Amino acid sequence: MIIEKVITNLENMDPNEINKRHMEKVYLESAHLVKRIQRVKTDHGKELGIRLKEPRDLLAGDVLYMDEKNMIVIDVLSDDLLIISPRSIKEMGTIAHQLGNRHLPAQFEEDDMLVQYDYLVEELLQELGIPFKREDRKVKQAFRHIGHSHG
């Protein structure tokens, strides 16, 4: 089966519509959410080809296939993350500037900044005294590098 478009996302569906269907999942690493063309396998062993026509990233909860009885949904494997919890705007500015200089992509959940684990960043956070923890956590979308050069 070739998937060319995402039907919807679980967040946009009525829970009753979800519950009446058998759900198969495709587990992806967060880095693979940006791939528009890939071959995947569901947790039930069904092989799929994904070839998205529209230029968009996949998200956790995206529905790739749905009929009256079944659905196939994207789920994301946990990432090794640093969860940074600055106590002030100064700490946020300091760490955001430092991570920006490294072109390190970040995501935000409430007052926390999430970055993929890097021992140098961990050492920097310890040196600056900025609160953080290391945690395996699922993210909804890929960490996206933004192209930039210092020309």
Write down the pLDDT at residue 143: 82
Write down the pLDDT at residue 60: 92
Domain ranges of the chain: 2-76, 79-137
pTM above 0.85, yes or no: no
Q: Do domains 2-76 and 79-137 have the same CATH topology?
A: no
How far is the C-alpha of 83 from the C-alpha of 67, rounded, in Å?
Answer: 39
CATH of domain 79-137: 3.30.70.790
Write down the pLDDT at residue 100: 87
Q: What is the pLDDT along the chain (151 residues), one digit of tens a residue?
A: 899 999 999 999 999 999 999 999 999 998 899 898 999 999 999 999 999 998 889 999 999 999 999 999 999 999 999 999 999 999 999 999 999 888 888 889 888 999 999 999 999 999 999 999 999 998 888 886 555 444 5
| Long-range pairs for 20-25: beta carbons < 8 A, 24 or more residues apart | 21/66, 21/68, 21/69, 21/70, 21/71, 22/69, 22/70, 22/71, 23/70, 23/71, 23/72, 23/73, 24/70, 24/71, 24/72, 24/73, 25/72, 25/73, 25/74, 25/75
Is CATH 1.10.645.10 the right assignment for the domain spanning 2-76? no
